[in-house]
Amino acid sequence: MPISSRRPADLAIVNCTALLSARADRATFGPGTTLEITDGRITKVDTNPASPTIAGKVIDAQGMVAMPGLINTHTHAAMTFLRGAAEDVSVTHWFNDYIWPMEVNVGERDVYLGTMVAIAEMIECGVTTFADHYFHMDMAAAAVQETGIRANLGSAFFSSQGRTGLDTSVAFAERWNGQADGRITTSIAPHAPYTVNDDDLRAAATEALRLGVKVHIHGAEDIIQTNASLRSRNETPIQVLDHTGVLEAGAIIAHGNGILPADIPLLAAHRDRVGVTHGPKGYLKFAMGPLTPIADLRAAGVPVGFCTDGVASNNTLDIFESMRITALSQKQIADDATWFRNSMALHMAGPESAAVMGMRGETGTLTVGARADVILVDLSGFHCQPAHDLGAALVYSVQPTDVRTTIVAGKVLMRDRALLTIDRRALLDEFRQRAREITDRTHGRTIQDYTQ
């Protein structure tokens, strides 16, 4: 599908094996492909290049797979500070005894540092876009701007903050949407239906519609939350999101493990604007019970994307790992080894995760016109050889360090494992110092109490 270009491309990737498309039943790879990139978008995907490429810069990707950069559809990036700080505890203890008392210590500079570390880790494992849900978000936006990654950012709030939380979230969404050459988009980010009241959810939906952004919210995180909601108000969390207008406005819903069959038609009615985000590592680690009903959601056309949540629960920001654990757990749950083929994992990682973010066709695909978010993955290591099945290698064998090069909007952020926009040593020195201080809980304060 070559398209002629009047001027030389800004960047060309030549000799790669490109992931041309990923459908549920089949992933198609094109060996010897040339990708051309200009003004931050893919301008040519040539699977049979006839003549040498002329471009401002050429990357020879011989022996590498080029695939769409990975998308982390829900995280709390700055929580890198708390990696390993609350292990082997129940979710209630995790919130009340560790995370919320520690987060009291997190200041603006910390959010910048923590987000920078998260972005470094994500670029290193091939994530080119992430959806973030945290606070002091101007600092997160600064980190995104500086590092060159793409993100959808939402300023989280609880109704316990009064009007301030919502106002801050709306003002942030308005201020930053479309910034950093369009790499930053925004959401309104109420925490969850059990921490944000219906009036504030309605206001969030109204403001999201006004600004043309999504609502990014935790919903039906596990079956315990759903049951608590049914007991206290005779509605599921998804029903609450429906009647408050959140689904109508469009939403990224994390994590949906507690979605009931009756919720699915509500989500399906808004499937052009609503998606669910899935990161099974943390759910299994918390022994959350039933997992997100991916099969039913997919059957209803509701996009489901991959996420990692924050590293305080998930320990890593590695979407390859989310793909792998999802594929394994879905086969086991369905009691069918032939379900959830590796192509389906790649489909969820690409087009479906992009749809969850509201970026259908914009990222998650190597097609002409899409944003040039591309990673080069080296499958020549012993652990990937022989590469009888490239999809299987990407889903079941690949290691994060096999990602050699990460490109966002046509700009190379990592080349041959070297980060080009982040000063590793200086960042880690300051980060480690603050990490020790942030885990101090002797002050006895907390952000809020976890009762659903």
Least spacing, CB of residue 47 vs a second copy, in Å: 22
Least spacing, CB of residue 100 vs a second copy, in Å: 17
Q: Counting contacts by CB under 8 A, is residue 299 touching a second copy? A: no
- Choose, by CB under 8 A, the member of 216, 281, 371, 404 that binds a second copy: 281
Nearest CB to a second copy, comparing residues 81 and 172: 81
- Choose, by CB under 8 A, the member of 184, 392, 412, 414 that binds a second copy: 392
Nearest-angstrom CA–CA distance, 155 and 186: 9
Nearest CB to a second copy, comparing residues 40 and 279: 279
- Choose, by CB under 8 A, the member of 385, 423, 449, 451 that binds a second copy: 385
Looking only at residues 417 through 436 of this chain, which bind a second copy when binding is defined by CB under 8 A? 424, 428, 431-432, 435-436
Looking only at residues 121 through 180 of this chain, which bind a second copy when binding is defined by CB under 8 A? 121, 124-125
- Tokens in use for 313? 């629960």
Nearest-angstrom CA–CA distance, 281 and 321: 8
Q: Counting contacts by CB under 8 A, is residue 89 touching a second copy? A: yes
Q: Counting contacts by CB under 8 A, is residue 285 touching a second copy? A: yes
Q: What are 41's strand-pairing partners? A: 38, 371
Nearest CB to a second copy, comparing residues 271 and 331: 331
> Residue written as tokens 């003549």?
51
What is the length of the chain? 452
Closest-CA residue to 109 (of 151, 130, 140): 140
Give start and end residues of each alpha helix (H) in 43-184: 91-93, 100-103, 108-124, 137-147, 163-176
Stretch that binds a second copy, among 2-10, 86-94, 202-210, 250-258 (CB under 8 A): 86-94
Nearest-angstrom CA–CA distance, 186 and 179: 9
Q: Counting contacts by CB under 8 A, is residue 105 touching a second copy? A: no
- Choose, by CB under 8 A, the member of 34, 353, 365, 397 that binds a second copy: 397
Q: What are 155's strand-pairing partners? A: 134, 188
Nearest CB to a second copy, comparing residues 123 and 266: 123
> Residue written as tokens 């040519």?
44
**Residues 320-359: x where in contact with a second copy by CB under 8 A, - otherwise, as a string:** -----x-xxx-xx-xxxxxxxxx-----------------
Least spacing, CB of residue 285 vs a second copy, in Å: 6
CA 367 to chain CA centroid, nearest Å: 20
- Say which amino acid occupies 139: M
The angle, 0 to 180 degrees and rounded to 10, between the axes of the packed helices 108-124 and 424-438 is 130
Nearest CB to a second copy, comparing residues 425 and 445: 425
- Choose, by CB under 8 A, the member of 109, 163, 210, 383 that binds a second copy: 383
Nearest CB to a second copy, comparing residues 222 and 248: 222
Sorted by sequence, the CB contacts under 8 Å of residue 100 that are 6+ apart come out as 446, 447, 448, 449, 450
E-strand spans in 224-373?
251-255, 274-278, 304-306
- Say which amino acid occupies 317: L
CB atoms within 10 A of CB 406: 28
Nearest-angstrom CA–CA distance, 346 and 407: 18
Q: Counting contacts by CB under 8 A, is residue 401 touching a second copy? A: yes
Least spacing, CB of residue 98 vs a second copy, in Å: 10
- The residues binding a second copy (CB under 8 A) are 80-85, 87-91, 94, 117, 120-121, 124-125, 281, 283-289, 315-318, 325, 327-329, 331-332, 334-342, 380-389, 391-393, 396-397, 399-401, 424, 428, 431-432, 435-436, 439
